Amino acid sequence: MTKDYYKTLGVDKSASQEDLKKAFRKLAHQYHPDKKGGDEAKFKEVNEAYQVLSDEKKRANYDRFGSADGPTGGGFGGGQNYGGFQGGFQGDFDFGNINDIFSEFFGDNRGFNGGGEAKPRGRDLSTEIKITFEESVFGVKKRIAVNKMATCNTCQGSGAKAGTALKQCPTCGGRGKIQEMRNSMFGSFASVRQCPTCHGVGKIPEEKCTHCKGSGVHKKEVEFEISVPAGINNDETLRLSGGGEAVAHGIAGDLYIKISVTPHSTFKRVGNDLVMDIQIKLSDALLGAEYNIKTLDGTIALKIPEGVTHGEILRIRGKGVPTRNGRGDMLVTVKIVMPKKLSKSAKHVVEELKKEGL
């Protein structure tokens, strides 16, 4: 049965990319294996769903054919014979089940995924960094340190003591795999799986590395330099491929970095525009004036037109958040400060204005 990626993320088929992103962030934090009560299987399902639906081409194929790869993505052509199944598989056939059957027969998780042992993969990790409002607008490079399982620098992951050789694994005889008999509902079958002693390498150290005790990995603090892109939003997550935990003779997991943006004292962000307020005098609202205001690019002169009204928005183009197509704008909301007390001469002027119907 085709996986329902929309159901996995808990969104409708009409969901926008922003809706998908919000749903993914929420579920990724909920199920992340590093969190108490996390669920690695659920986390992988959510990640798989998002990877497909966040790609417009893959999403279009999925919506039309039920597969991100299109009409030929993962199915069998008609008219062929696979072990007695005549005419190919039609309709919503559950390929996950047939993979489970092949896994039971052969014990190596190959199924119909192209053969060969799948390398072990390290755990994904998550962390959070804080950046300033200006850094979120213009982008920034940050160095972060993560305490994690990493490849041993002493033995370069081999697990062998420096200057010593590797010897043939006694468990598998250097083949990297072991064969064993397994029972199933169809009878007994010989299955092949990765050797647990050498992890499929076929060799083990004659003498173990004293630093990692032969495991090839150990716990240490690793520094990364990450590039935070211009225009990133608060609570967005970056993924650093291979930045997660390392595993012996396998592939490192990924590092997910949540971005926390410190609020600005003057500006707020609305889409790609920056919004701020400016307070002006009543006389300047009536006669017009020029005010110096601070932007993220420096101080500029803002012209206040004659007769501007309270709450009116003045637009300064190109002073907002950078995008692929240029920059957003700055929107300045006018706040007219009314005098609490008038002098006699000022009161006389106002009375004259009143007589003129102003």
Please indicate, yes or no, if residue 2 is contained in any of the structural domains: yes
In the chain, the N- to C-terminal Cα span, in Å, equals 73
- Is the confidence at residue 194, as pLDDT, over 50? yes
Q: pLDDT confidence of 297, banded at 50, 70, 90?
A: very high
What local confidence, expressed as pLDDT, does residue 84 receive? Answer: 35
Predicted TM-score of the model (pTM): 0.58
pLDDT at 224 (0 to 100): 94
Q: Is residue 255 part of a domain?
A: no
Note whether residue 187 is domain-resident. Answer: no
Q: How far apart are CA 144 and CA 221, in angstroms?
A: 10
**Cα–Cα dist 161/215, whole Å:** 11
Nearest to 262 by CA among 235, 240, 239: 235
Q: Is residue 242 part of a domain?
A: no
pLDDT digits (tens, 9 = 90+) for 162-190: 888 888 999 998 888 888 776 655 556 67
Identify whether 14 is part of a domain.
yes
Rounded to whole angstroms, the maximal C-alpha distance in the chain is 107
The confidence band for 132, taking pLDDT boundaries of 50, 70 and 90, is: very high
- Band (38; pLDDT cuts 50, 70, 90): confident
Q: Average pLDDT, stretch 135-140?
A: 96
Number of domains in the chain: 2
Return the minimum-mean-pLDDT range out of 99-113, 216-230, 279-293. 99-113
Is the four-CA dihedral 53, 54, 57, 58 of positive or negative sign? Answer: negative
Residue that is last in its domain, among 30, 64, 79:
79
Nearest of 141, 125, 156, 121 to residue 221 by alpha carbon: 125
- Provide the residue range defining the domain that includes 23: 1-79
Q: Please check the confidence at residue 210 and state whether its pLDDT lies above 80.
A: yes
Report the chain's mean pLDDT, rounded to a whole number: 82
| Among 42-46, 64-68, 198-202, 245-249, the least confident range | 64-68
Domain CATH for 30: 1.10.287.110
Higher pLDDT pick, 307 / 104:
307
Tell me, yes or no, whether 125 lies in a domain.
no
pLDDT band at 44 (very low <50, low <70, confident <90, very high): confident
pLDDT band for position 119 (50/70/90)?
Answer: confident
pLDDT tens for each residue of 313-328: 999 999 999 988 889 9
Sequence-distant (≥ 6) Cβ neighbours of residue 310 within 8 angstroms:
285, 334, 335, 336
Domain-ending residue, one of 55, 79, 103:
79
SS3 144: strand
Place of tokens 């005549």: 86
Residue 132 vs residue 193, higher pLDDT: 132
> How many CB atoms are located within 10 Å of the residue 328 CB?
21
C-alpha–C-alpha distance, residues 60 and 347, integer Å: 69
Share of the chain above pLDDT 90, in %: 41
Which residue, 79, 98, 133, sits at the end of a domain? 79
270 vs 110 pLDDT, higher one: 270
The answer to whether residue 338 sits within a structural domain is yes
Which CATH number characterizes residue 324's domain? 2.60.260.20
Which range (60-74, 90-104, 293-307) has the least confidence? Answer: 90-104
Dihedral sign from CA coordinates of 104, 106, 111, 112: negative
Residue 342 clears pLDDT 90, i.e. is over it: no
In a domain, 335, yes or no: yes
What secondary structure does DSSP assign to 311-334, as a single string? Answer: T-EEEETT-S-EETTEE--EEEEE
Question: Under a CB-based contact definition with an 8 Å cutoff, are residues 144 and 223 in contact?
Answer: yes
Question: What pLDDT, on the 0 to 100 scale, is given for residue 71?
Answer: 55
Phi/psi-derived region of residue 6, left when phi > 0, alpha when psi is between -120 and 50, beta in every other case: alpha
